[in-house]
A and B are shown apart, each in its own frame.
Chain A
Amino acid sequence: MKNKSKVFEDIIHGIFLILGLITVGCVLLITVYLIIAGIPAIREIGLFKFLFGKTWASTASPPSYGILPFIMSSIYGTAGAILLGVPVGFFTAVYLAKLAPLKVKKVVETAVKLLAGIPSVVYGLVGMLVLVPSIKKVFNLSDGASLFAAIIVLAIMILPSIISVSMTALESVPKEYEDASLALGATPIETYFRVSVPAAKSGIAASVVLGVGRAIGEAMAVMMVSGNVPNMPSLFQSVRFLTTAVASEMSYSSGLQRQALFSIALVLFLFIMLINVALNFFLKRDKEK
């Protein structure tokens, strides 16, 4: 009997191992493929010219493949989204974790979860039909599709991950810390911002990094509101991100153009890798404490 259950255990172990290896295999496959597909174009164009060229005209003759506008747009767009999204997300998380009455908390939490579940194409569509015309009106521009529109859409899209991860971090701060602070005469607000938030800071940092990852990797919603012209970024000009550069030209591309798109994907992949390393760093630091 005992032997039988041991065999059963082993089989289950084996299955889990295989399933785990499938995931690892996928990651490896994608990495290797991206490197193999991305290197040739960079070699042909030249790394410096590719990364720091300011003009992208893939179908012109002669074509030029400089992706600096995409890199800068992606960085500006993500930074802008963080600048708008993090304060809102952070204070919402503090409120929900510490201050909100149970009923309010439940309602807001549900709303945040819903926000996380909305497909990005819906964000894009609403952005295209509501946000872009309003930006045009409010700022008196000739056209509203711009970096600014993309930043607003991205800021809303990263809210759920910032709120929920920060909230978890804040809620797991031991109650004794706060009790001690309150007993020493600090007001609740002082306690939350001087005791709870510092104690949860690596979790909050992780939430920001997650937000960066989501913002830099988003393609669909950005494509629909940012105008997609490979300009160097400026707030009210139309811009093209790394993600949208790949997505918008892939369908009809051929030859070196297609290879260059893979190279863009490789650059994007490196960015995401960096962000993951940063995320791991914050989470690890949390554990070591």
Chain B
Amino acid sequence: MKKMICYASALIMCLSVFAGCGNSESSSGGTVSTDGSTSMEKVIGALGEDFQAKNAGTSFTYNPTGSGSGITAVSEGRCDIGLSSRKLKDEEKAKGLTETVLAYDGIAIIVNPANNVDDLSLEEISKIYKGEITNWSEVGGNDLDIVLIGREAGSGTRDGFETVTGTEDLCKYRQELTSTGDVITTVGSNENAIGYASLASVKDTVKAVSVDGVFPTEETVKDGSYAVQRPFVLVTKTDKQLSDTAQKFFDYALSEDAKSIIYSAGVVPAKD
């Protein structure tokens, strides 16, 4: 997939060179390079594509290396904008980096509608996924075994969920499915199941539970009261001006136009 996007962006770059020849009035020919979080692939890929479509002659690159390397890359000046799926640490900010939250990735914890559990604490969720709680009766439900549904290794949603709940590499999954849709279908057809899916894709066939008493909605994700979420951050240098094209992309990504694209990538835009 990443390779595909690389190829696709390479192709688009080539095409946009030709496009630039055709209508010379709008071509500025700048480049925007981004580097960082693999979880942001979907949203940043969609934004980059749309940005290039709207600004012929510009090229957009995305290097999926992970949040840490993205932050390093931007501080060393190897890319225009760093991408991080966590907030910057204070020492990173002290090094002259600025964070701008692009969107919030809210992950809903879903159960079957027949399940009478409506609320779980973050700790309970973590224990459930680590296999320390194995029966719904331990968290106030019926006397049924808990069936853990998750995503495949490498999935951004899985990465986000496991990071927030502190269950990295500890989850005792019963099923590892390859798409959000599969997770929802499976949880919807098994009253023992618990799963996680990005907030935007939750449907009526499953029930989202509240976490520590907070129900996942766009508002609670945005104001930070819903716990199972993480920010998607654009990292820039505080003291250095972005290039014109990079600034244009930066503004575009936070603009009203980009909102629907951010939504369609399954995350909640940060700006109102």
Write the residues of chain A forming the contact surface with B, with a CB cutoff of 8 angstroms.
57-61, 128-129, 132-133, 136, 142-145, 223-224, 227-229, 238, 240, 247-254, 257
Contact = CB atoms under 8 A, between A and B. Distances in A.
B147 A143 contact: yes
30 contacts: A57-B169, A58-B153, A58-B154, A59-B159, A59-B169, A128-B185, A129-B185, A132-B189, A133-B189, A142-B146, A142-B147, A143-B190, A145-B174, A224-B182, A227-B175, A227-B176, A228-B152, A229-B174, A229-B175, A238-B173, A238-B175, A238-B176, A247-B178, A248-B152, A249-B153, A249-B154, A252-B2, A252-B156, A254-B64, A254-B154
Question: What does DSSP make chain B's interface, helix, strand, loop or mixed?
Answer: loop
Contacts of A253: 154
A98 to B, nearest CB: 43
B178 A228 contact: yes
Interface of B: 1-2, 38, 64, 144-147, 152-156, 159, 168-169, 173-178, 182, 185-186, 189-190, 192-193
Contacts of A58: 153-154
Contacts of A249: 152-154
Contacts of B174: 142-143, 145, 227, 229, 238
Given A136-B190, A229-B174, A60 B154 contact: no
B139 to A, nearest CB: 15
Nearest to B190: A143
B190 A229 contact: no
A251 B175 CA distance: 18
Contacts of B175: 143, 145, 227-229, 238
Contact of B186 (A145, A247, A257): A145
A188 to B, nearest CB: 48
Nearest to A223: B178
B192 A143 contact: yes
A228 B158 CA distance: 15
B2 A254 contact: yes
Given A143-B147, A252-B2, A57 B189 contact: no
A23 to B, nearest CB: 26
B189 A252 contact: no
A260 to B, nearest CB: 11
B177 A228 contact: yes
Contacts of B144: 142
Nearest to B169: A60
A202 B123 CA distance: 61
Contacts of A145: 174-175, 186
Given A57-B169, A251-B154, A252-B152, 18 more contacts: A57-B153, A59-B169, A60-B169, A61-B169, A128-B182, A128-B186, A129-B189, A136-B190, A142-B174, A143-B175, A143-B193, A145-B174, A223-B178, A228-B176, A238-B174, A238-B176, A252-B2, A254-B38
